[in-house]
Structure 1
Amino acid sequence: MTKPLSDDALAQLFTEAHTHTTWLDKAIPDTLIKQLYELTKLGPTSANCCPARFVFVSSEEGKAKLKPCLSSGNVGQTMSAPCTVIVAYDAEFYEELPTLFPYADAKSWFTSSPEAAYETAMRNSSLQGGYLMYAARALGLDTGAMSGFNPELLNETFFADTTWRVNFLVNIGYGDGEKVHKRLPRLSFEKACYVM
């Protein structure tokens, strides 16, 4: 039987966590990046489709390729972040379904419907990107998700001649807690929810 997380754990993941845009000059070890993926991949997706693909950009060469794809307002925070994760999806994720979901001919659900394939890839890669952010927080990292970029240029730069396509970006690293913004308001339960 599972137990509720401690207040300290909930604070690290939710109540005291913030989106970061300013970063300490501290690299993320490759072993931690691998550990981050190993946690992320365990999050549930529909029919275990796992469409997300992740590119961890931390080298000077990688950042130079990424920079022209960014909106001007995101350049500073991204270039100073220890790592930027391109959260992408494989448009042909269904090719892996015979292995990932062997209980049915799930591949055929998507090969006959490009719309269903796209919706499933976007929805589930978005979930997996969320899992990545919370796995990062669980491992002591800070995050800052972004959608300010040129998707066509990014796909051409990083994913030409592949079936991968960008969904969104996440900066990860060790945030500067002295420069974090005050938490903005959230909708109340009454405004955002109802129980039937």
Structure 2
Amino acid sequence: MSDQAIAITPNRLSLSDDGLALLFTESRTPRRFLPLPVTDEDLHAIWELTRWAPTGHNSQPMRVVFARTPEARERLLPHLAAGNDVKSKSAPVVAVLAYDTRYHTHLETLIPYNTTLQGHYETNIEERRRKGIFNATLQCAYFIMAVRAVGLAAGPIGGFDRDGINAELFPDGRYESLLVVNIGHIDESALRDRLPRLDRELTVSMV
């Protein structure tokens, strides 16, 4: 990154080049995992990082189910698209990230100075859903970065039968699946060449 150095204001805390590489520039999406364990402590650390990242009204609508055992992962495999099931089968942990349709019931605790918001969302269902899915999706991205931050690899999967996953894990209908994330130690021998990224000139403008 030396020839692409980012100007940092003096005395402002920032990640080292190693930290930036871990989270962004050198991190890869795994196609296969090594047969190494992921501990409960690892998973707790991932959530502890994820929960501190910002959401609208501090709403925190994302929920996580960690499939830890082979039996639990096998329940998910039939609902994954062809090819994705192979990736998940090698992962020691598969996380299902979901949106809580009743997330607003926690708002009195999460944003106590706004005493009307919980009631507002109780009656404005479409707005509640739209903002909830947006913020839960935002949390999905934080979750991926948290997995990387603890030294593990994250393989997000959008190709799956949402109705099937919901029926398998959330039969009461309160939670709705958004993303599946494979978690583990990456098998670098299975990686393809890294795909290109769009240049700044194509994606960024200053006004």
Alignment-derived partner of residue 93 in structure 1: 103
Which residue, 99, 116, 122 being the options, matches 2:127? 116
CA RMSD of aligned residues (A): 1.2
Alignment of 1:72 with 2:82, yes or no, is yes
Q: How does 1:1-196 map to 2 (within 5 A)?
A: 2-104=12-114, 105-196=116-207
Give CA-to-partner distance per residue, 1:119-159, whole Å, 9 cap, x none.
Answer: 11211111111111111111100111111100011101100
Contact 2:166-2:173 within 8 A present in 1 as well:
no
Give CA-to-partner distance per residue, 1:63-109, whole Å, 9 cap, x none.
Answer: 12111111112111001111111010101100000001111122133
Give CA-to-partner distance per residue, 1:144-187, whole Å, 9 cap, x none.
Answer: 11111000111011000141110111111000122222221112
Structure 1 stretches of 4+ with a deviation exceeding 4 A read: none
Q: Distance in 2 between matches of 1:150 and 1:162?
A: 15
Q: Distance in 1 between matches of 2:54 and 2:154?
A: 21
Q: Distance in 2 between matches of 1:41 and 1:164?
A: 18
Alignment-derived partner of residue 8 in structure 2: none
Residue 27 of structure 1: CA displacement?
1.3
Computing the radius of gyration from Cα coordinates, the structure with the larger value is 2
Per the alignment, in what secondary structure is the counterpart of residue 56 of structure 1? strand
Matched AA of 1:7: D
Q: Distance in 2 between matches of 1:96 and 1:182?
A: 44
Matched AA of 1:84: V
* Structure 1 unmatched runs, 5+: none
Per the alignment, in what secondary structure is the counterpart of residue 148 of structure 1? coil
Matched AA of 2:122: T
Give CA-to-partner distance per residue, 1:48-73, whole Å, 9 cap, x none.
Answer: 00000000112122112111111112
Q: Count matched residues.
A: 196
